Amino acid sequence: MSSRAALLSLEQARRQLLASIAPLTDTEMVSLASALDRVAAADIAASIPVPPWDNAAMDGYALRRADLEQTPTLPVSQRVAAGMQPDPLQPGTAARIFTGAPVPDHADTVVMQENCEQQNGQVTVVQLPERGENIRRQGSDISAGSKLIEKGQRLGPFQLGLLASTGIDQVPVVAKPKVALLMTGDELVEPGLTLTPGKIFNSNQYVIQALCQRMGIDVVASDHVVDSLDATVSALSQAAEKANVIITMGGVSAGEEDHVKDAVSREGELLLWKLAIKPGKPFAFGRFADSHFFGLPGNPVSAVVTLLLLVRPALLKLMGAAETDWPERWVEAGFSRDQVSDREEYLRVSLKSTPEGDVVQPFSRQSSGVLSSLGQSDGLAVIPKGNKVKKGDRLRFLAFNAIF
Ligand SMILES: Nc1nc2c(c(=O)[nH]1)N[C@H]1C(S)=C(S)[C@@H](COP(=O)(O)OP(=O)(O)OC[C@H]3O[C@@H](n4cnc5c(N)ncnc54)[C@H](O)[C@@H]3O)O[C@H]1N2
Ligand code: MOO
């Protein structure tokens, strides 16, 4: 793969990469408590309606609305709290009832207690209700047999609640990819140790590992690799035994200290290298033994941007997710820029919502080594290759909080 070949666009690369990845075929049953962020391996339907029976939406009195045509005062014939099974309502009486309690048969209305006066076992309704008021109908949330979850849907907090509300406690999910991280570079020192001359702390591992965890993926191994071809091949081989996805960081550009793509070419298959994006140009993708290989550039911002734009959709596809896109929206540029790039640029920007719309401003330092630019930004604004920016231009915007 020549370094002079025309660079692929992000879209071309993403299509190629996704086309060469198939979802994992293994599935497992997991309990609801451990199903967060997993992907459903099958459609799941409700076996019961929710609510399972008509119930009171207010503390008050259950009655037949027609009885109030004769008299506003009715004897209270029973007391129904949540969790009880009521008797059918005797004609011409009211039932004391509490929020969530089943409405007795023959009652068609619940009057909230603020609109009633109770004395000596009788209730007087002081404000006439509409028939049917304050009753939550059986199945009004979910009808029996309806589809709760589709195959390929990621299970978030609301989906887990929905499953629990129908009594489901075990969910079929697609197996999780196992990810191994390899940090390359003789300069790396672990946080907590002493920094000696020429060294820097390894920060990439912690960002990338946390981003994987936020996706619900296990990082099963992480290792340092020194800058040598043999060490890189051997580290990749060991990683491939433990994981079905290997993510390397650094050592993937053009210098003679960069061994990752040579190691992958020698023992595996390098399918893609170098993209027309900034930051992130030297991103690489391929296979090593039976594992997918993703080579992130070492610069901290380049590593994050390529992980989010390229590796995240691939991991989601492996996890069986039907939706792998980073949702984007259009915003207005609150700045002008004459500088143009021969790569599509992903600027770290902050977002301000105004009555006229969403406006973005770029972080002052856009170098791919400036990690603080990420923490102080709301997302990435996309500047097409070769374009200047004029204040007021519409830009595509990828919000960090749309994906984690
Ligand atoms: N002659 C060329 N040089 C470079 C090119 C090029 O096309 N031709 N591309 C540049 C671009 S763009 C990028 S991005 C970088 C990426 O290079 P590598 O992926 O080979 O990364 P390294 O050289 O190993 O490291 C780059 C930078 O990042 C720091 N780093 C590495 N690992 C970590 C870590 N775990 N935690 C924190 N920081 C890390 C490393 O010390 C370097 O400063 O290449 C350009 N060069
Ligand atoms: O791609 Mo590099 O990430 O431009 O610094």
- DSSP-derived letter for residue 114 is G
Residues 127 and 259 in one domain: no
pLDDT tens, residue by residue, 157-183: 999 999 999 999 999 999 999 999 999
User: Is 5 contained in some domain?
Assistant: no
| Average pLDDT across the chain, whole number | 96
Residue 216 CA, ligand 2 centroid: distance in Å? 27
- DSSP-derived letter for residue 107 is -
What separation in angstroms does the CA of 321 have from each of 39, 71, 154, 203? 6, 60, 6, 29
Structural domain range at position 38: 29-50+140-174
Quote ipTM for the complex: 0.98
- Compute the distance between CA of residue 182 and CA of residue 237 in angstroms, rounded to an integer: 11
Cα 268 from chain centroid? 32
Determine which residue's CA is closest to atom 33 belonging to ligand 1.
298
Residues 46 and 20 in one domain: no
Q: Which atom of ligand 2 is the closest one to the Cα of 281?
A: 1
pLDDT tens, residue by residue, 101-142: 999 999 999 999 999 999 999 999 999 999 999 999 999 999
Residues 168 and 192 in one domain: no
pLDDT tens, residue by residue, 243-261: 999 999 999 998 888 999 9
pLDDT tens, residue by residue, 12-50: 999 999 999 999 999 999 999 999 999 999 999 999 999
User: Is 61 contained in some domain?
Assistant: yes
Q: Which amino acid is at 9?
A: S
Mutate to test the pocket of ligand 2, among 252, 296, 299 (most ligand atoms within 8 A of CB): 299
Residues 61 and 122 in one domain: yes
Q: Which atom of ligand 2 is the closest one to the Cα of 278?
A: 4
Taking 70 as the threshold, does the pLDDT of residue 185 lie above it? yes
User: Is 81 contained in some domain?
Assistant: yes
Residues 125 and 261 in one domain: no
Residues 258 and 288 in one domain: yes
Ligand 1 neighbourhood includes 227 CB (under 6 angstroms):
no
Residues 217 and 303 in one domain: yes
- Indicate which CATH number applies to the domain containing 111: 2.170.190.11
Domain end point (choices 174, 191, 220): 174
Mutate to test the pocket of ligand 2, among 249, 274, 342, 368 (most ligand atoms within 8 A of CB): 368
Domain end point (choices 136, 160, 189): 136
Determine which residue's CA is closest to atom 4 belonging to ligand 2.
279
Residues 301 and 219 in one domain: yes
User: Is 182 contained in some domain?
Assistant: yes
Confidence at 4, pLDDT banded by 50, 70, 90: low
Residues 305 and 225 in one domain: yes
Residues 301 and 338 in one domain: no
- Ligand 2 shell residues, CB under 6 Å: 278-281, 297, 299, 302, 368
- pTM for the complete prediction? 0.92
Q: Return the SS3 of 39.
A: strand
Q: Which amino acid is at 200?
A: I
Q: Which atom of ligand 2 is the closest one to the Cα of 305?
A: 3
- Compute the distance between CA of residue 397 and CA of residue 10 in angstroms, rounded to an integer: 15
Residues 242 and 261 in one domain: yes
Ligand 1 neighbourhood includes 67 CB (under 6 angstroms):
no
Residue 210 CA, ligand 1 centroid: distance in Å? 21
Nearest ligand to the C-alpha of residue 342?
A: 2
User: Is 323 contained in some domain?
Assistant: no
Confidence at 404, pLDDT banded by 50, 70, 90: confident
Residues 257 and 289 in one domain: yes
User: Is 4 contained in some domain?
Assistant: no
Ligand 1 neighbourhood includes 191 CB (under 6 angstroms):
no
* Nearest C-alpha neighbor of 55 from the set 88, 94, 103: 103
User: Is 226 contained in some domain?
Assistant: yes
Count the domains in the chain: 4
